[in-house]
Each structure stands twice: as C-alpha cells, then as structure tokens.
Structure 1
C-alpha cells in the first residue's frame, strides 16, 4: 500500500473507525464493572506471582480503574492503534495478541506482589514500540515519518517504562514497549524474493 494513494487513505480511514468503535466497548465494560462493585477488576486483573492471577493476562487490557482511566487511554489507543491496524488486520491481531502476552507475562513475573494490574496501557506502549520500529524493519519512509511524529507527540511517555508514580504499573509499560519492538520484527511485511532465471547458454546440454 503506497503512501498517498486512494487505498492508503481508505485503509487509514477504516482503521480509525474501527478503533473509535472499540473505545465505547471499554466504557461499557467499565460500566458493568462499577455495577458489580469492581468485581471484574478484582477477578480479571493480573495478580503478580499468583497462579490465580494468570488469567488476567487475557482480561486485564479490557479493564480500567474508572471512567477517567478509560478516557486517558482512549486518545493514544485510537491514534496508535489506527496506524498499527492500517498495515493489515492479520498483522494487527497478531501484534496485539503478542504485545498483550509479553506485557501480561512480564507484569506477572516482575510486578509488585499484592497488587492487581489492569488497563490497556501495556498495549498502548506496545503500539508505540511497533510504530517506532516498523519504519526500520519495513524500510518504509512513511512509517519512519509516522514514528517521528508519534515520537514527538508521545515520546515523553517513554519515561513511563521507568519506576515512577505510585499506583502506575511501569512494568506493564516497559514489557509492552519491548513486546511492540519485537512484534514489529516478527510480523514485518515479507518481501517476495526475486526469482532468478538461469541463462540458457549456461545450461549443460542433455544427451539426446
């Protein structure tokens, strides 16, 4: 998909609509969670070092600590997710699943014991890593330009991968970002190899 073509803009538009449609789902889940006195957070969050907290690797990205938490994640999720999704649905799904797995497993291993970790931040940091790395691995000037733009807009959030504010899972941010960097390499667009044709003059004649 070449930059500036009709197909390019159509892909960006479709991806943006899909990501915008996904955010209300997060608000709906938060609404149900509050109706149940935050039981979804407690039961579906990642509990570091606890066996019964492993299922949170699957559910935690959909859970948030209040509407403000959902709102804070919505804009970067839509923006970053749009650029990742525009590169293809299959790549997007594989990339997202890989990032969520790496972030979740990382939190379970190195997260603070006695805590419950929820939120889409790990996936968001993963998308940031994907976009920054994709321009390099895909040899795409378009992705490099996007990476620079995202770096200018959200590069300051990189400090979120370091220990900082209490109550914020820097482990999830760090592992998600690393997962995104690796995902950009694993799920890069494969370029077809050029087919080499043998020179007829170099072929050994077969006996008749």
Structure 2
C-alpha cells in the first residue's frame, strides 16, 4: 500500500495551513533575534566613539575605500533614532520574506544588498557616508510585492500592501528629497527586491 507524503515546502507556502503558520512563527522568532544584534553593534559604536564604525563600514560613494560598505553598511546606523525607525519594519517584512524559505531568503537578501549598495556607491553623493538597513527593508517590501505576481501568492502581495499602507509616508523616501536620506539606496533596494523575487521564485 502506498502512502502520499505531503510536500512540506509547498504546504508551508499555502496560506492557512499548519505548516504556513509554523513557518511564520519560526521566521518571526529569527528576526526578533537578529534585531538585537543591530542594537549591540550600535552600542559598540557608541562605546568606542559614535560614528567610528559608520566611517569604517559605511558606503563611501565613488571611493574604493568605501566599497566594502556594500556588505557592512546595512548592519550600521547613524544613531539610536535611525535604528529604532528601522527595527520594526525590518522585523515585520523580514518575517514574511524569511517564511518563504531560508535559502532563498539569504540569496534574496544578498541580491538586495548588492543592488542597493552598489547603486549607492555608483550614484550616491561622494561627500556622504551611507549606513542603515533601510535599503534592505525596501528590498523586502519589493520582494513580497513582486512575489505576489510572479508566484501568484496573494498573501505575499497582501502583506506588502498592508505594510506599505502602514508606512506609506516612508515610500516618499525613494524620491530625491532630504539630502540626509539615501533615496538611492531605498529605490534600488526596491528594485533589488523585484529582481530577487524573479530570480528565486518558487517553481511549480
């Protein structure tokens, strides 16, 4: 007698299933563990001299010395207010992005960091140092939004729409406005999220 074994990966992606809620729960716990690491890094930066790590690991547009910031800058923030502003949306969006699978979450994050970071390095203001996780946050927003279409996953689309409505005022930060805001990182992070959704879409 043959028994059918459910595909847990597919089941976890199906809204309303037990596996779906379990994957959301695991992802939420993981993201809640990641954010305190960012607070620890900021505490170390303050302890050794506020801005020291930002200068060492931030993106310095057009300068080869600041190219390593593509990898390090998302973990750094320009003060506690900057970090507090990023913490909640990072947990929310990161949870749903991670719930779609750990491997493609990591690859998607890498693509988002690369597109956003390199874009900032190429077109950013050379007289600035760019730090912060907001490029990745916008990337996760774009990732979830695009997954709704490329995977016909309406819960991903719904989550992106809901969080976009919660933080609608932040969406204006993809436009050239305040010089202290890296709109380039936000806009290109969003583009990186779209690209990652296509590259790492779930195959049916």
Q: Structure 1 length normalisation: TM-score?
A: 0.89
Q: Are the aligned partners of 1:46 and 1:117 in contact in 2 as well (CA < 8 Å)?
A: yes
2:164 matched to 1:154?
no
Residue in structure 2 matched with residue 61 of structure 1 by the alignment: 74
Distance 2:193 2:135 in 1: 9
Q: 1:110 aligns with which of 105, 110, 123?
A: 123
2:36 matched to 1:36?
no
SS in 2 for 1:114: coil
SS in 2 for 1:116: coil
Distance 2:59 2:161 in 1: 33
Q: Are the aligned partners of 2:97 and 2:144 in contact in 1 as well (CA < 8 Å)?
A: yes
Offset at 1:48?
0.2
Q: Structure 2 length normalisation: TM-score?
A: 0.91
Offset at 1:190?
1.1
Query: Structure 2 unaligned runs (5+)?
Result: 1-11
Q: Which deviations, in whole Å up to 9, do the C-alpha atoms of 1:170-202 show, x marking residues without a partner?
A: 1110111110111111110011xxxxxxxxxxx
Distance 1:167 1:145 in 2: 31
Offset at 1:147?
2.9
Q: Are the aligned partners of 2:59 and 2:130 in contact in 1 as well (CA < 8 Å)?
A: yes
Q: 1:9 aligns with which of 7, 21, 28?
A: 21
Query: Structure 1 unaligned runs (5+)?
Result: 192-208
Offset at 1:143?
2.0
Distance 2:26 2:104 in 1: 15
Residue in structure 2 matched with residue 202 of structure 1 by the alignment: none
Distance 2:118 2:180 in 1: 19
Q: 1:173 aligns with which of 186, 194, 197?
A: 186
Q: 1:140 aligns with which of 153, 166, 169?
A: 153
Distance 1:73 1:180 in 2: 17
C-alpha RMSD over aligned residues: 1.0
How many residue pairs get aligned? The number is 191
SS in 2 for 1:94: helix
